[in-house]
Amino acid sequence: MSQTTNILVVGIGGQGVMTASEILSEAALSQGFDVKKTEVAGMSQRGGVVSSHVRFGHKVLSPEIAPGEADILVGFEAAEAMRWSHYLRPKNGKAGGVAMINRLRLVPPVVSFGLFDYPGDPVAAVRGQGFRVRDFDAGEIARGLGDFRLVNTIMLGAISDELPFGAETLKARIVDRFAARKPALAELNARAFDLGKAAGKGKSL
């Protein structure tokens, strides 16, 4: 546990960015890691941008990830993933960081107000910087399961094989939230996690 793992979760208000970072933190704590987390919400209830930094390792002093140090970028929205891509760790002869991007395109207020233009192909822009990118339509997977709120669990499943602990640890943290009071939701989230895990590998179940 000598190395610190840095995960940056970004998206639009209401997508579950903060819940995802909370679950990640709980999973890391359950494995004995020291965990630090911070988040920034801009008009989150009105569709503003939201970001959360999660860092864990043997000893973590600061909750903030520096640009160029993120091991995993979890993009709940495509343009936000592109906007934060400079936080990813460059290859430098090693594997570098990985971006897990939901292809969903949500137009934030700054675009609606005419202050900025929405990028033409944000996923291609991230890939063009030389980063490892896995992109998929988490919303379509969630709709197939009958509940759009499952996007959160799908995104966590997608990054589960990139973590320094087993995917089942993260899955258990999600399922346990519903197991006692809402077993049907627990089963649905378990399915969403597995589909997200497959999507993160470029596969389908």
Please check whether residue 88 is in contact with residue 97, taking contact to mean a CB–CB distance below 8 angstroms: yes
172 confidence band (pLDDT: 50, 70, 90): very high
For residue 65, tell me if it sits in a domain.
Answer: yes
For residue 132, tell me if it sits in a domain.
Answer: yes
Q: Can you give the pLDDT at residue 130? A: 92
Domain hosting 9: range is: 5-104+122-200
Q: Can you give the pLDDT at residue 41? A: 62
The pLDDT of 7-36, averaged and rounded, is 93
For residue 191, tell me if it sits in a domain.
Answer: yes
Distance CA 37, CA 95 (A): 24
For residue 112, tell me if it sits in a domain.
Answer: no
Number of domains in the chain: 1
37 confidence band (pLDDT: 50, 70, 90): very high
Phi, psi of 106, rounded to the nearest 5 degrees: -115, 130
For residue 116, tell me if it sits in a domain.
Answer: no
For residue 113, tell me if it sits in a domain.
Answer: no
Report percent pLDDT > 90 for the chain.
70
Q: Does residue 85 register a pLDDT over 70? A: yes
Q: Please give the residue that has the higher pLDDT: either 111 or 189.
A: 189
Please check whether residue 20 is in contact with residue 74, taking contact to mean a CB–CB distance below 8 angstroms: yes
Q: Position of tokens 């640009």?
A: 67
Q: Can you give the pLDDT at residue 94? A: 66
pLDDT in tens, 94-143: 678 999 999 988 776 666 667 677 888 999 999 999 999 999 999 999 99
Q: Does residue 173 register a pLDDT over 70? A: yes
pTM exceeding the 0.75 threshold for the entire prediction:
yes
Please check whether residue 47 is in contact with residue 109, taking contact to mean a CB–CB distance below 8 angstroms: yes
The pLDDT of 133-155, averaged and rounded, is 95
Q: Can you give the pLDDT at residue 81? A: 94
Q: Can you give the pLDDT at residue 35? A: 97
Task: For residue 195, give the CATH number of its domain.
Answer: 3.40.920.10
pLDDT in tens, 62-71: 999 999 999 9
Q: Does residue 44 register a pLDDT over 50? A: no
Please check whether residue 38 is in contact with residue 17, taking contact to mean a CB–CB distance below 8 angstroms: no
For residue 111, tell me if it sits in a domain.
Answer: no
Q: Can you give the pLDDT at residue 15? A: 85
162 confidence band (pLDDT: 50, 70, 90): very high
Distance CA 110, CA 117 (A): 9
Distance CA 199, CA 205 (A): 8
Q: Can you give the pLDDT at residue 165? A: 95
The pLDDT of 31-41, averaged and rounded, is 89
Distance CA 148, CA 167 (A): 22
Distance CA 118, CA 89 (A): 25
Distance CA 193, CA 128 (A): 28
For residue 67, tell me if it sits in a domain.
Answer: yes
